[in-house]
């Protein structure tokens, strides 16, 4: 049985109060859709040349993780050789990934929707394998690690076509207003409340980006096709964001700043893009 639509025990006093400013990168309709529904889509962000080098970088990372999963029996939580292979932290070894994460459209969307001081929080390649065995369950990104402020931004970059058949994103519009929901830890990943009847399917073409709140419940179905569905997912938090982890009794631990300079570098400071830091 899936979790009920109830708040995470650490989610007290949350109010959805999205930034209301004239957008400079998104159009007015996209910014308004995000404020209302918690998501929007930006079409054709990445060129074919940019996509080709990003696909190559993601393929390399996924191949390394696939080897590791094979040694572990094929599955580790939400990742599995029979479902989707997930390769995090490409920016620690790839200039291509670093350029993608500082793409002017993504950074501009951060300014439009989050504010003037933003850093990279997390990024990962996700390859959904052909004829997969398991979906990605309904979850919020802030349900995996409780970050404060709770409302950060996810940019889901479509590296290949994403369709109903191969596992495009589904989002529940408006549910981000509840803040972080309670999640159950299942053998195939965390799961929160979600409802496909209330959700919107978001098919995308290569180079499109689905931009959604860390508080938007979303899911992807299994890939029923013969081809791999590829995506690169980039998340941005507020520059002063901190994560909390459970203490011995389940209480929130002390805040842990999300400022690892190797992979959580600043992308926007005082409203201006920050140059890409060199690989260390």
Mean residue pLDDT of the chain comes to 97
Question: How many whole angstroms from its chain centre is CA 236?
Answer: 9
Residue 83's pLDDT is 97
Mean pLDDT of 66-74: 95
pLDDT in tens, 134-173: 999 999 999 999 999 999 999 999 999 999 999 999 999 9
CB atoms within 10 A of CB 279: 11
- pTM of the entire structure? 0.97
CA–CA dist 255, 67 (Å, integer) = 34
Residue 1's pLDDT is 74
Residue 2's pLDDT is 76
Q: Report percent pLDDT > 70 for the chain.
A: 100
Structure-block tokens of residue 34: 């995000």
CA–CA dist 139, 214 (Å, integer) = 10
Q: Where are the alpha helices (DSSP H) in 84-126?
A: 95-101, 104-113
pLDDT greater at residue 94 or residue 280: 94
Mean pLDDT of 226-253: 96
CA–CA dist 30, 43 (Å, integer) = 11
Q: 63 falls in which pLDDT band (50, 70, 90)?
A: very high
29-241 has which fold? Jelly Rolls (2.60.120)
Is residue 89 scored above 90 in pLDDT?
A: yes
Residue 73's pLDDT is 94
Close Cβ partners of 79 (under 8 Å, ≥ 6 residues apart):
65, 69, 85, 86
In DSSP terms, 146 is beta-bridged to 244
Q: 280 falls in which pLDDT band (50, 70, 90)?
A: confident
Mean pLDDT of 233-242: 98
Structure-block tokens of residue 142: 């802030």
Question: Any idea where the domains of the chain sit in the sequence?
Answer: 29-241
Q: What is the DSSP letter of 128?
A: E
Query: By three-state DSSP, how is residue 244 classified?
Result: strand
CB atoms within 10 A of CB 68: 12
């Amino acid at each position: 049985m899936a979790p009920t639509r109830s708040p995470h025990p650490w989610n007290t006093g949350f109010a959805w109060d999205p930034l209301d400013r004239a957008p400079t990168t998104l159009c007015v309709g996209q910014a308004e859709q995000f404020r209302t529904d918690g998501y929007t889509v930006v079409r054709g962000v990445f060129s074919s040349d940019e996509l080709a080098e990003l696909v190559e970088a993601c393929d390399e990372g996924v191949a390394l993780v696939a080897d590791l999963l094979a040694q572990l029996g094929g599955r580790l939580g939400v990742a599995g050789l029979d479902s989707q292979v997930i390769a995090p932290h490409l920016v620690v070894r790839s200039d291509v990934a670093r350029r993608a994460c500082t793409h002017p459209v993504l950074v501009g969307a951060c300014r439009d929707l989050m504010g003037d001081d933003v850093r990279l929080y997390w990024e990962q390649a996700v390859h959904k394998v052909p004829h997969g065995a398991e979906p990605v369950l309904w979850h919020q990104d802030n349900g995996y690690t409780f970050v404060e402020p709770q409302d950060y931004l996810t940019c889901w970059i479509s590296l290949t076509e994403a369709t109903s058949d191969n596992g495009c994103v589904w989002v529940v519009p408006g549910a981000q207003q509840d803040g972080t929901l309670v999640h159950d830890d299942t053998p195939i990943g965390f799961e929160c409340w979600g409802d496909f009847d209330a959700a919107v399917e978001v098919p995308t073409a290569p180079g499109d980006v689905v931009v959604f709140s860390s508080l938007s419940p979303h899911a992807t179905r299994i890939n029923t096709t013969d081809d791999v569905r590829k995506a690169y997912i980039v998340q941005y938090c507020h520059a002063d964001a901190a994560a909390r982890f459970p203490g011995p009794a389940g209480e929130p631990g002390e805040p842990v700043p999300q400022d690892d300079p190797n992979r959580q570098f600043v992308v926007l400071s005082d409203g201006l893009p920050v140059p890409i830091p060199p690989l260390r």
